[in-house]
Structure 1
């Protein structure tokens, strides 16, 4: 037999590949995969957010039942809270996308999304559909069903209030409607140019018992998914915990469960299953005509498989491949198993982590075959030019060098963030992108691994490979960037009154010898100096800070500060944002080089602030921007230090949930207030809390919230100092808030506290628990569930005015 590998320059044909290098399957995993070739069938699980999925059930379906398994998350989790950093909104969604992909690599399922944007907590499905545009998101769900063609659809949630979240209920409604619509040629007919109509056999609800809600019942369909897989050396409760623990930004590290675990299912539509999810569905190869010989071959392959030498199965697998080439089959899985049995490794690396879009990228292709030496196979590596054929001797790496123009790939960034979008959904022009959880990675072309007269096409992403002295060998996604980026430190700037502000722009070049002009743009009537800047960056990745003095003027109160770059006769308007955490690949994107600017009538009383970090917010940066001196305090400084020099101390969001040291810090913080200080505690969730008494007097935390960002706000005590000093607060100060008013409002409030504000969502009872203020000793204590952690970074003027009042030493006694 002869096997060779060729590189074909078919750059436009390569499919999506994640950042990770190819998986090297061990002998047990190959055995698991060979058994899976005997199974047909597919299941699509549908819910609303990352971390909604039942990872134990997904792992069981993918690895035990060996059916093709997918998870459709309507959103990317953009509206959640971040427990590992300060990223919010789209940036948090980017992190959670990568966490989902890591979870799927663990449990064996595939990942899909719609274009729906997670705009934050929603109390009912009607509100969700109002913001999402129900018909558009329904079309996305239909597209995924028609593309994936599941035999069974499973929802995580019911369609009513038991779902606990409007997005959850909406996901169940969309799944049920899409179950029918996907089979109707009159629904979304434009899709039928690329896919066919599809009718799943049934749709069921995976009922649950958690919190105070139990939706399971003994008469429901039940399956034990806690079984042990000896090939993998784990039970599905263990695999599920490993999968779920990838959701680190949500604090979902999970304990491994071992032993029996029952999942319950309730019918929603289609044929009812009585004893098994797959009742009435043939999961064997004979589901398709003409598979008798393939089945016989597969039986022989599985019977004769030698885990000590998987390469012995290659000949039979090639015969099977030829037999099923025109049949519905797991072709991709079969090809991966052949490559694994042959010990084929191919990678395409670049010497630097980033290149400008105008560059030519040098690429090194490494390939090796690690079949046993006695195995009669020759592998060669060649380009289209036959003079460059290189034979691969078993266990001997060969390399080849080519160059690829970066421009053909475009900028590397998330496809759903390429265009500005409304609150409800991302702008996605291509249906094909909806099949991809992330943008296609730049690649070196389509490789062909030839086995006699058969070949397997393989693509590999271009990656930067390097060795860290602590972490070892690391792979990083290749970044293709504009020649020069212009990055602003914040995405909003608040100008107090008509005072000028210096805005710093960081230039960074991704090519050597970058010369050009940087020009700022401000709202009409505002002034900026200088009006343009010439730059000359000599070294690649050189950075240069440029300062512009911006002065508000005229009648315009708000607008955009934007930047344009002229480089080599071309115009660019991109900044740079890099997100780096150890548990996900480095994420690089190029947002528009612009920021919101807002003129605010703002008065101050006190300027020196201490800040105690919680789960992560941008309050310190926001306060520094308007002139406060902010010191980040650690536990030692609070427990052993002198706090009397601070005009106010602020705790970060969820501090009382996540920091065990708060038990030791709390007495010192209360003494600080008693002696005349101001302590402002931002929101915490009601469970778990490190200590019960957050304030000097009792109150509890509920799950109540006001999600309508334009909900009417009533002043219960208009004369209260926090509404009058140093800024006069009016109802206009609650205009322009984003995502929500507040969350986890206080309840059971002691009479010592003044409840200053009252608000509610449409049709709900009014709540007084968003803002509590009390005097304690000589000082002031404030607990607020208002979403300042969202409003200040967004540059909401009234939120700044109220927050300044809350941290000012106004009289509360």
Structure 2
């Protein structure tokens, strides 16, 4: 059967696992039915080249997916993607998670996308609330690097380059004014790192840790067809994968569901273009690929080594590896033959490594050769498991653990191939301080076709075990070693699902944030604490609240008894502030006390079909913002949610009667019962009933209603005529936003009811905003609108179409590009006061 026909048996989403990452753990792997010859090809193709490339970007989904698919899946190049932050400041098209919870989702999406393109994934951001944080849109690389900490970001990038040692580096973006400041910042430090990573005087402390300087051979920048050095044929069709590299790249981009990424492309020629920016090798104006003038195969490497004193023997060894790799490829797709050839090459790699270590070569040459041979050994271990159809698994009794718990974890190895392996060893890896005791033998003499061996371990979690960190290495992994044809290999495996140490009692207070109206300090604050028992069995605890000094809480404490793990119960508390409470920020903390220990954290379960299950462990706190707020009695609001914000919840908290409108409500319901109807951000793009019902909405306004429309993008099906008087959104979108949350705001119509009723808005109400002021501002609008504010980033022209309001018939239509969906959940007083005013018109 031809390779192309074989490929038709498998989809392009065949399970692709990362080759062993040098410095980051492999993400948990999802089992797919699409295995076999496609995965085998993915595993052996990298054996044919010793070249490497790195793509750098700012956020998850910044990667040049088609180019990465071409290099990794098509050429077999050892390919890495280095992404700066976790995308915490982005929007979410699949749920309401924002901030760190969204960062966790986007990281998992990036991990799954990286599996599909078979690349190494690295992040500069190392933990929750890392300095390298997605703080929202930025127009400036200087602002970005200042907020990240330029030295922090640069040190980490240099460390990645010196560890991964790529031959070619390609930043995903240019440093040009029309580009996101985060993208520009990554370009700036990547371009600078081309020389600095090779300079021992730059971050010399890294050298003391064992890293060595590394000179990248070439640096390329994105380019256009009119001016380029290399054209990458990403439209080439690969018969084995049954897809073009553009299609393979988009398959990975579809994993970025929270950002709405992924497109369907037809087959046919297409190219990505790149221009050589810096190089330490001779180059031509037009190059055949990124690796012109760079050693690409073992034969190329052998020629370079042979020129050095004492390099003849090593050169001969490298030529042998070239022959070995050719024999592996020639054996495809015969699994048993491929396995035999892989193990022969593995033996030769180990022999060559030993020879290099013993050779009298220059230190730099030895370091480089050992690094490339280590990568090849990792790739060969992966290829061995694929060729043998060896399936290794870590199967925990439970993936949800607590400190002090003992559990069982089973390691299994299954042989689905025709080659019998011997000397099988099963090893479980746990963190320092943990204990793992095998309950049976871990050694097996042979493992034949359709046979499974397994060992169960008793695992003890220490009492001081750290709570789950979503960006840390998996806490439990396994290694399965075995021998074929006298040569040992190793399969490293992690659990299919994240194994997490969670709070013994997870505490989730509701609300997580609320407003205290200082005009009514006597009003009680209801706090409901939902408690989930993660202890392995029955458990008891006392639940209480830590409140600010002088505040009262009833009851003082509430005992809870659980019969089993996973059981959930709730406790209701009533909190009252002091009569003299001042405008300020306050915090309430839920506490579970049991056996002399306290739990003060909650575990937010994050579960999506394309990601599996992970967790966000965070303090069990209620944030309270105290300020003066007037809310009209009897105010009734209909809210049309797009799923991207939860402003409706906060309106309810402050005393507004809010109803979430269904499609039926919008299409045929009585809209006149609502004082105000609010459309959530981008609602026209995600509520399909809105455009056909737009005339009903405008009639509602004409008859005296108050319609508030929050910002839209043009791609949200927005058309100027959806408004009663045309509103055209400015493009390119990147230029029509205000990113400085502290920028000066001028109220152009200070006497307008929006600034006076029921709350008097002053300059102080524009203080303490977060992340941005506005996004996707209008560029043109009808003369009927009143321009309410003027605002812009420092040094730029100010926008006057950010906040527009007009009378239409008996009612009012207001369009606002202010980022209410960020400000209101952050309890920004001025934003809440203005939004209440906005929904209170005509009261």
* CA separation of 1:111 and 1:380: change in aligned 2, threshold 3 A: closer
Counterpart-to-counterpart distance in 2, 1:645 and 1:721: 22
Counterpart-to-counterpart distance in 2, 1:220 and 1:315: 41
* The one of 424, 444, 455 aligned to 1:400: 455
DSSP-derived class of the 1:161 partner: coil
Counterpart-to-counterpart distance in 2, 1:785 and 1:254: 28
**How big is the alpha-carbon RMSD for the aligned residues of Structure 1 and Structure 2?**
2.4
Q: Residue 746 of structure 1 aligns with which residue?
A: 778
2:707–2:812 CA contact under 8 A, matched in 1: yes
Q: Residue 198 of structure 2 aligns with which residue?
A: 183
Counterpart-to-counterpart distance in 2, 1:673 and 1:455: 76
Indicate whether 1:757 and 2:789 are aligned.
yes
Aligned pairs (5 A) from 1:302-451: 302-303=329-330, 305=331, 307=333, 309-325=334-350, 326=353, 327=370, 328-329=372-373, 330-372=376-418, 375=419, 377-378=421-422, 380=424, 392-407=447-462, 410-411=465-466, 413-414=468-469, 438-451=471-484
Counterpart-to-counterpart distance in 2, 1:166 and 1:300: 48
Q: Residue 306 of structure 2 aligns with which residue?
A: none
Q: Residue 237 of structure 1 aligns with which residue?
A: 246
Aligned pairs (5 A) from 1:615-764: 615-702=643-730, 703=733, 704-764=736-796
How far is 1:90 from its partner?
1.5
Indicate whether 1:281 and 2:291 are aligned.
no
Q: Residue 230 of structure 2 aligns with which residue?
A: 221
Per-residue Cα deviation, 1:760-798 (whole angstroms, up to 9, x for no partner): 110011211221112222222111111110011111111
* CA separation of 1:735 and 1:369: change in aligned 2, threshold 3 A: same
* CA separation of 1:587 and 1:89: change in aligned 2, threshold 3 A: same
Q: Residue 500 of structure 2 aligns with which residue?
A: 479
* The one of 583, 589, 598 aligned to 1:571: 598
Counterpart-to-counterpart distance in 2, 1:394 and 1:219: 52
Deviates more, 1:561-570 or 1:406-415: 406-415
DSSP-derived class of the 1:586 partner: strand
Indicate whether 1:37 and 2:53 are aligned.
no
Per-residue Cα deviation, 1:432-473 (whole angstroms, up to 9, x for no partner): xxxxxx32223254332234654333332234xxxxxxxxxx
Q: Residue 154 of structure 2 aligns with which residue?
A: 138
* CA separation of 1:600 and 1:90: change in aligned 2, threshold 3 A: same
Counterpart-to-counterpart distance in 1, 2:328 and 2:748: 77
- In the alignment of these two chains, the number of paired residues is 753
DSSP-derived class of the 2:249 partner: helix
Q: Which runs of 5 or more residues in structure 2 are unaligned?
A: 1-21, 126-131, 303-313, 354-369, 428-437
1:660–1:690 CA contact under 8 A, matched in 2: no
Q: Residue 11 of structure 2 aligns with which residue?
A: none
* The one of 481, 504, 510 aligned to 2:528: 504
Q: Residue 423 of structure 1 aligns with which residue?
A: none
Per-residue Cα deviation, 1:326-367 (whole angstroms, up to 9, x for no partner): 153211110111112222112121344423232212223332
Per-residue Cα deviation, 1:14-55 (whole angstroms, up to 9, x for no partner): 982312147885224424533421201111111222222211
Q: Residue 135 of structure 2 aligns with which residue?
A: 119
1:78–1:91 CA contact under 8 A, matched in 2: yes
Q: Residue 167 of structure 1 aligns with which residue?
A: 182
Q: Residue 174 of structure 2 aligns with which residue?
A: 158
* The one of 782, 794, 803 aligned to 2:826: 794
2:604–2:616 CA contact under 8 A, matched in 1: yes
2:803–2:818 CA contact under 8 A, matched in 1: yes
Counterpart-to-counterpart distance in 2, 1:388 and 1:741: 60
Counterpart-to-counterpart distance in 1, 2:23 and 2:801: 55
Q: Residue 608 of structure 2 aligns with which residue?
A: 581
Q: Residue 6 of structure 2 aligns with which residue?
A: none
Counterpart-to-counterpart distance in 1, 2:727 and 2:135: 29
Q: TM-score, normalised by structure 1?
A: 0.88
1:29–1:232 CA contact under 8 A, matched in 2: no
Counterpart-to-counterpart distance in 1, 2:688 and 2:197: 50
Q: Residue 492 of structure 2 aligns with which residue?
A: 459
2:424–2:480 CA contact under 8 A, matched in 1: no
* The one of 165, 169, 180 aligned to 1:149: 165
1:486–1:505 CA contact under 8 A, matched in 2: yes
How far is 1:255 from its partner?
1.2
Indicate whether 1:98 and 2:101 are aligned.
no
How far is 1:397 from its partner?
3.0
DSSP-derived class of the 1:597 partner: strand
Counterpart-to-counterpart distance in 2, 1:186 and 1:671: 70
Counterpart-to-counterpart distance in 2, 1:575 and 1:166: 34
1:32–1:231 CA contact under 8 A, matched in 2: no
How far is 1:400 from its partner?
3.4
* The one of 262, 267, 274 aligned to 2:271: 262
Q: Residue 769 of structure 1 aligns with which residue?
A: 801
Q: Residue 75 of structure 1 aligns with which residue?
A: 85
Q: Using CA pairs below 8 Å that are at least 6 residues apart, which structure has the higher relative contact order?
A: 1
Q: TM-score, normalised by structure 2?
A: 0.85
Deviates more, 1:783-792 or 1:351-360: 351-360
* The one of 35, 38, 51 aligned to 2:61: 51
Counterpart-to-counterpart distance in 2, 1:85 and 1:440: 26
Counterpart-to-counterpart distance in 2, 1:623 and 1:278: 58
* CA separation of 1:14 and 1:483: change in aligned 2, threshold 3 A: farther
Indicate whether 1:544 and 2:553 are aligned.
no
Deviates more, 1:730-739 or 1:33-42: 33-42
DSSP-derived class of the 1:758 partner: strand
Counterpart-to-counterpart distance in 1, 2:442 and 2:41: 36
Counterpart-to-counterpart distance in 1, 2:202 and 2:42: 39
